[in-house]
Amino acid sequence: MALLYIVRHAQCENTPPGVIQGQIDSPLTELGLKQAQAIAERLTRERFCAAYSSDLSRARLTAEAIARRHQLPVVTTNLLRECCLGVAQGLTESEFAARYPEAYKMWKSDPVTHRPPGAERFEDVIRRCGSFLEQVREWHGREDRVLVVGHIGSISGLICSALDLSLRSYFAFELANTSLSVLEVGEKPALLLLNDTCHLAGLA
């Protein structure tokens, strides 16, 4: 079974501050750059055969910091993107509420059932993450170790798809910036590590 070393992207800036981000791109902060180097140092001795990342720059830059130490190119894919939040992206909550009052009210009452106009359903996030896992199973063998860098939404989607978890489980995971999770995929998938951040000790 291939082992996926899954990393959430480093801390990034909301541009402007306080917006609902979703798939809006944003740069890494100064702390985020330090976090990326910290996880890169932790994973230096691993023998990765490939590195994959969301095509959003906050994930790609994190992946490149790690992959550079292994002399690997980073293959980007939109299958690992954060969940799209439709018309809410780029707005603050108060702006979303003012422009789409009924949609905002329904979204806040039950964000699973009621999505912002144009937003991606969580079932679809899990499905596209499953498509990525199918590619991994096709391209990589049992002994391969694969680096994957994504977002809270896509990492949760990977875990739910691999382990065949319910939709409600999608919201059960805490995932810090540059946290490390390890997922074994194959005939008997298993989550071996979740949200490990020991490499961030002392960073501020």
What digits encode the pLDDT tens for the residues 78-92? 999 999 999 999 999
Backbone angles phi, psi at 107, to 5 degrees: -60, -45
Residue 183 pairs in a beta bridge with: 4, 191
Q: Which of 9, 70, 114, 140 is catalytic?
A: 9
- Digit-coded pLDDT (tens) for 113-152: 999 999 999 999 999 999 999 999 999 988 899 999 999 9
Q: Is 70 assigned a catalytic role? A: no
What is the structure's pLDDT at 16?
64
pTM over 0.75: yes
Q: Is 9 assigned a catalytic role? A: yes
Pairing of strands 2-8, 145-150: parallel
Q: What is the mean pLDDT of residues 24-53?
A: 95
Q: Which of 70, 140, 151, 199 is catalytic?
A: 151
Catalogue all structural domains in the chain, each as residue range(s) with its CATH number: 2-84+121-200 (3.40.50.1240), 86-119 (no CATH)
